[in-house]
Structure 1
Amino acid sequence: MTERYDYEYLETGCIRVLRLLSVTPKITFQFECVSLDSNPTYQTLSYTWGNPVFTKRIFIRNQFLDITPSLHECLQNLGAYIGTRIWIDALCINQIDDEEKSRQVQAMDRVYRQAAKVVIWLGSPADDSDQALKGAETYGKAAFDAGILNLGPDQLNSWDDVSEDTELGTTKKALLKLMSKAADSEGDDNRVDERFPRLAFAKLTHRSYFTRVWVKQEITLARDTAVLCGTQATTVEHLHALVLFYGMLQPWEIGEWRAGQSTRIPGPFSEQQLMAVNSPWDLLKTATGSDAIGFVLSGRKRYRTKGPDTLYQLLQSSYVRQSRMVLLCKDPRDKIFGMAGIARDMNELGLKVDYKSDVKEVYEATARALLRQGNVDMLRWSRTGEITSPSWVPNWELPVHAGWSEDTGNPLFKATGGKYQPKSKDTDTVTPGSIRLQGVLVDTITDLGSVWRADPDKSFDQSAFTIMVQELFRFLERPRYPEDQQQAILCRIPIGDKELPESSPFFVRATERSEEQFSALISRAMDSDMMAATYSYQTCMGYNYMARPVISEKGFVGLGPSNVQPGDVIVLLFGGSTPFILRPRVDHQGYLVVGETYIHGIMDGEFPYDEESVTMFDLW
């Protein structure tokens, strides 16, 4: 009778690899134990685990292991890898042994770094995925050859002024030619074979593979890759180039259309197709790629060009989003452990992979280490609409909304003037559930406005915006701010003093352009022209979703989280780029974190304080 396979003890520094023997009529393999110090030759598999339902079976001689249908389907398609050593985490780690699992996960960065190749399995062919991967080998390869992966924010910001006789100019020329080909072929029935498979590629990017936590590490560390979907294959570099190219193609087409250079509505749909549906926006979304794939692939590029990020940077880029597309995992502890292998400062933070600790212990230890390291801005991630315990520990199980006062992790303000005060010895005291930070008390909240509940996925709510403006106008009648500046202040508070430039995807501080858009929104009815003309202002207000106007006892006016209450206090915590709102506990023993706040007039270090005004805040 066939018996279940019983894992033997695995020494530290060793890994199990499996040698695939057959995939039909049944999947058979054998395990080998190898030392990583011996530089063994093997490949690794990166795939979607799927639901933990173990209904399929594979065989090791006269023994068996039960696996998920998703892994079984993947192995059935690896006939080309028969005889090859492959490391597969679900099989090569004893998943029910927490001690072994902790040791092996701690070494996974080495496992992937030493692998000859990472085989990425996106799943079986569906939704024209064959066409999508062919697009990666045509348009993606062409964009890669043109140098699209070498473009960074600085190059994109200066795109309009690029000279043709430079290396960047050569890249720009090649990419514009490729974009013209993609756009022109859409409207030409004789060039169907030249079309960029937009719908197929968009659907491919929405596959669950790209939302897996472990994928970030697996792709980041891979020396070489093979991306498989059904019978088609490409590389991570060509796939990434295609993601970036599509991201450039869409706004370029819209710009050409608005400038009259193109008479055809941009995209894969004709005017007749758009007119024939009840909601054109729903149709257009089918050609829009997922944000998740770009975040995963950009991490690989950054790692290879600039080296590993800190854990704080990795958590920010993986879980802090304006959209809902964040990385997911079955075990919530893996939100932290899945970043351990690519974070450069795990030892400095004193953090280790330990599956014997529960999720609350893991999250609290991580938050404490990051705050002690000086990452006070991490408290922005606690803005969830309700106060959890401890209030200073982000709940990484849930989507973390992007902060009001940052842009892709880069702060827009310096509320403490960039001055980080040395910590006293008292801050090193460890009380479970509590942490002590230094800062300055600014003032106490006395009155509130209405919550800005406009759904960022829907049309701009002009009536709700008008109510917010009226409430802020009433607050600004207090004498704190000069009368001749109140109009400019009234414009800047709803958007948190940030603006989206026309030629850049990155936020800047608000300019007169925002004041013009503000004036239009409060004086004209919304129509399609107004919608386009005030796009920046609307987008910035979308980042302030669930904010509400606040005013303090001394007349400071700004925005606070939806759950702020009168009696909450505004504080500056040293090392933080933005002020925070804290709530005194009922027993007066410390504070709860309510969230970040935008308070006009203290965002750039203007608030005066001296050594005597510095105090300790015990956060619970």
Structure 2
Amino acid sequence: MDTDPRSPVCLAPHFAFLPIDSNKGEIRLLKIELGRYGEVIKCSYRLTTVTGDVQYETLSYVWGDLQVDKTIIVEDTEVGLTDNLFNALTRIRHETELRHLWVDALCINQEDGAEKTAQVDMMHKIFSECAQCYMWMGNIEASAIGVKESEALEAAKGALDAIRLLSGEDSEYKLPPSLTTRDQRAKAGNAIKALFQSPWWSRIWTVQEATSPRLGTVLWGPISIPWHYLTQVAERLIQGKWPPEDRFSIFDLFENYNFLTSPMLALIWASRWIEAPHPPYEMLYRFRYRRSTDPRDKVYVILNLVAEGSYPLPSVRSSDYGVPAAVLYRRVMLDLLRDEYGLRPLIGFRGEPKSVPGLPSWVVDWSTPPAGQERAAFWEHIKFWYKYTADRGLPMLDLNNLTSPEHGEDVLNVNGVFFDKILVCSDVIAENDGSDRLHEKARETITRAVAEDPRFRIVSEVYWQAVLDDIITGNCADSTESMEGSTADVYWRLQMLRHQRLFITEGGAAGLGPSGTSVGDEIWVLSGGRSPFLLGPLKASDPVVKHEDSSYHYSFRGDVFIPGIMRGEAVDSRKDTQRYVHIH
């Protein structure tokens, strides 16, 4: 049997999909025959359209471990499935009712690129027109809940009963038998956490599959609960609409509920994009760290979250799986820069590695980074972006010449002024670095600077100490401004230092830059950049440089903070030195 190694389905060489015409809006449905638990699952195909006369349901699930070791029968042919997909179909198959189910791996010919593109483009319609969507969370795992195998099902039932109570469906908050004791409630709380630890919550396509259907049902092993209960719980918890303390204390379940409200609120926001889409960079960043088997899906899912006929990314009008991921991501980045009329999509880089081969340094890698690697801090940096005007006095970003035939599509051309070079920098600031260690890194950086250039001794040492202290303590942020539940200076200390480096320049300036900051890197103020940016000079010998003269050719590092130039001061005295830089 042959299989796509990235698919949860293994098809025999002679297996033939029932032909469909996507141009007519046709889709395949899997008709699941009646059967009892343990009997072979037998299916056949039926053609229809999303608005046809066949009432159908959809399945939202995680491909998961792609080891194929279960089988079903489709069109009288044996088909291999992964455990997770097999378990989902086993759960949905009914003894007395036929099921017409749309499930991606079995209803789309994954080997036919044209069909896959057309069907993926139809997925919003497929899910929005279904009778209901089954959201398969997997089997109930005792180890995930922290109970004995014999207690797992009861704990899970208690979890769903608790969700019903928190949803406000029962205004009297009558406790069911599964929640009468504190021990039961504690186990139910652990089970709710286990439910939200299901891999389903980390998959990119489940965003669309959860937000498009009119009706959804969460399936968890043999038990289920309506999807809208979960949305109601999240909204009520955020609004402070808790059950009466004397009837049902939420803290008997868990001390903190961010694990529930955070993913649910993100999905609630996404469900509203069909009517009021957010800026495309926000939509992409909102679910950036969800997983996808194909890195291109991180972009294509956005097309299915906005109104039909609207194109938030002008160069990406369909889910074209013939386009390499690196080319797609580069086109997306250019779309974002043009949509923003500026360089905001470039902020927050903190040394995150590229997983997609051939990706230019200035292009965001939307695929999930390797575990344990730094993650970009876009949401943190954006809170300070509009407070700065480093590019004041420069012309607007030239949207028509971001790339050029001379340098190629992978090279970003931006006008700007040179400010300075990095003389020395600290070690990368770790997340667990305390105040003492941060001040120690500042002193080490100053010592290195004096050793590199003794002219800076005495006068500059005092200045550097003051500047770096302000950066470390957050004195560069407004202590009277509220930000994410704290003041801006506290937020700065908590979020703006990790995975960054302190540095001192050859001209004596001091600042904060990304983890990739290196000696000799250059600081530029660029058109469309409210913050200065750090660029790494390239050499003629670098493979990406296709010119004998490598002057003004760079690799992108990230945005930097330097007191004294965040309000346009660097541009005021350098307007006559403007020139284009070429970022590879």
Q: Normalised by the size of structure 2, how large is the TM-score?
A: 0.75
1:209 matched residue in structure 2: 200
CA contact 1:449–1:468 (8 Å) conserved in 2: no
CA distance in 1, matches of 2:552, 2:390: 29
Q: Does 1:427 align with 2:402?
A: yes
Q: Does 1:362 align with 2:341?
A: no
Which secondary structure state, in structure 2, belongs to the residue aligned with residue 373 of structure 1?
helix
Q: Does 1:397 align with 2:367?
A: yes
CA contact 1:340–1:346 (8 Å) conserved in 2: yes
What code does the residue aligned with 1:423 have? Answer: D
Identify which range, 397-406 or 591-600, moves more after superposition.
397-406
1:150 matched residue in structure 2: none
What code does the residue aligned with 1:380 have? Answer: I
CA distance in 1, matches of 2:269, 2:83: 32
Q: Does 1:299 align with 2:267?
A: yes
1:308 matched residue in structure 2: 277
Q: Does 1:8 align with 2:18?
A: yes
CA distance in 2, matches of 1:589, 1:418: 19
Q: Does 1:592 align with 2:560?
A: no
Q: Does 1:383 align with 2:350?
A: yes
Which secondary structure state, in structure 2, belongs to the residue aligned with residue 74 of structure 1?
helix
Which secondary structure state, in structure 2, belongs to the residue aligned with residue 55 of structure 1?
strand
What are the equivalent positions in structure 2 for 1:149-160 lying under 5 Å apart?
none
CA distance in 2, matches of 1:502, 1:235: 41
Q: Give the gaps of 5 or more residues in structure 2.
A: 1-11, 146-151, 450-455, 540-549
What are the equivalent positions in structure 2 for 1:11-160 lying under 5 Å apart?
11-12=21-22, 13-24=25-36, 25-36=39-50, 38=52, 41-80=55-94, 82-126=97-141, 127=145, 128=152, 131-132=155-156, 134-139=158-163, 141-143=165-167
What are the equivalent positions in structure 2 for 1:407-446 lying under 5 Å apart?
407=380, 410-416=383-389, 421=396, 423=398, 425-427=400-402, 429=404, 431-432=407-408, 434-446=410-422
CA distance in 2, matches of 1:96, 1:21: 26
Deviations 1:440-466 (A, max 9, x none): 224122322322342x3x5x4444212
CA contact 1:549–1:558 (8 Å) conserved in 2: yes
CA distance in 2, matches of 1:602, 1:506: 29
| Structure possessing the higher relative contact order (Cα contacts under 8 Å, 6 or more residues apart) | 1
CA distance in 1, matches of 2:70, 2:480: 53
Question: Compared with structure 1, are the counterparts of its residues 444 and 70 closer, same or farther at alpha carbon in structure 2 (3 Å cutoff)?
Answer: same
CA distance in 1, matches of 2:333, 2:76: 47
Which secondary structure state, in structure 2, belongs to the residue aligned with residue 308 of structure 1?
coil
Which secondary structure state, in structure 2, belongs to the residue aligned with residue 339 of structure 1?
helix
The alpha carbon displacement at 1:105 in A equals 0.9
CA distance in 2, matches of 1:117, 1:507: 42
1:539 matched residue in structure 2: 494
The alpha carbon displacement at 1:397 in A equals 2.8
Which secondary structure state, in structure 1, belongs to the residue aligned with residue 528 of structure 2?
coil
Q: Give the gaps of 5 or more residues in structure 1.
A: 147-173, 183-187, 253-260, 270-283, 320-325, 515-535
Which secondary structure state, in structure 2, belongs to the residue aligned with residue 22 of structure 1?
coil
Q: Normalised by the size of structure 1, how large is the TM-score?
A: 0.71
What code does the residue aligned with 2:126 have? Answer: V
The alpha carbon displacement at 1:215 in A equals 0.7
1:448 matched residue in structure 2: 424
The alpha carbon displacement at 1:194 in A equals 5.8
CA distance in 2, matches of 1:197, 1:504: 34
2:8 matched residue in structure 1: none
What code does the residue aligned with 1:617 have? Answer: V
CA distance in 1, matches of 2:271, 2:180: 42
Identify which range, 342-351 or 72-81, moves more after superposition.
342-351
Question: Compared with structure 1, are the counterparts of its residues 363 and 301 closer, same or farther at alpha carbon in structure 2 (3 Å cutoff)?
Answer: closer
1:616 matched residue in structure 2: 580
The alpha carbon displacement at 1:554 in A equals 3.5
CA contact 2:467–2:510 (8 Å) conserved in 1: no
The alpha carbon displacement at 1:416 in A equals 3.5
Deviations 1:247-295 (A, max 9, x none): 899xx9xxxxxxxx9xxxx9669xxxxxxxxxxxxxx9xx877859733
What are the equivalent positions in structure 2 for 1:330-341 lying under 5 Å apart?
330-341=293-304
RMSD: 4.3
CA distance in 1, matches of 2:348, 2:438: 25
Question: Compared with structure 1, are the counterparts of its residues 504 and 421 closer, same or farther at alpha carbon in structure 2 (3 Å cutoff)?
Answer: closer
The alpha carbon displacement at 1:499 in A equals 8.1
CA contact 2:30–2:107 (8 Å) conserved in 1: yes
CA distance in 2, matches of 1:143, 1:408: 35
What code does the residue aligned with 1:559 have? Answer: L
Deviations 1:79-135 (A, max 9, x none): 349423211111110111122111111221221122221111111122346545644
CA distance in 2, matches of 1:413, 1:14: 48
Q: Does 1:317 align with 2:286?
A: yes
Which secondary structure state, in structure 1, belongs to the residue aligned with residue 21 of structure 2?
coil
Question: Compared with structure 1, are the counterparts of its residues 450 and 497 closer, same or farther at alpha carbon in structure 2 (3 Å cutoff)?
Answer: same
1:199 matched residue in structure 2: 190
Which of residues 211, 215, 234 in structure 1 aligns to 2:225?
A: 234
CA contact 1:445–1:565 (8 Å) conserved in 2: no
Question: Compared with structure 1, are the counterparts of its residues 340 and 429 closer, same or farther at alpha carbon in structure 2 (3 Å cutoff)?
Answer: same
Structure (1/2) with the larger helix percentage: 1
Deviations 1:188-240 (A, max 9, x none): 99655566822111122111111111111111212211111122222333224
What code does the residue aligned with 1:350 have? Answer: S
2:314 matched residue in structure 1: 349
1:280 matched residue in structure 2: none
The alpha carbon displacement at 1:384 in A equals 2.6
The alpha carbon displacement at 1:73 in A equals 0.7
CA distance in 1, matches of 2:470, 2:180: 49
Number of matched pairs: 520
Deviations 1:429-485 (A, max 9, x none): 35545333434224122322322342x3x5x444421213425777798979997x9
Deviations 1:360-380 (A, max 9, x none): 222222223323333623223
CA contact 2:421–2:507 (8 Å) conserved in 1: no
The alpha carbon displacement at 1:398 in A equals 3.7
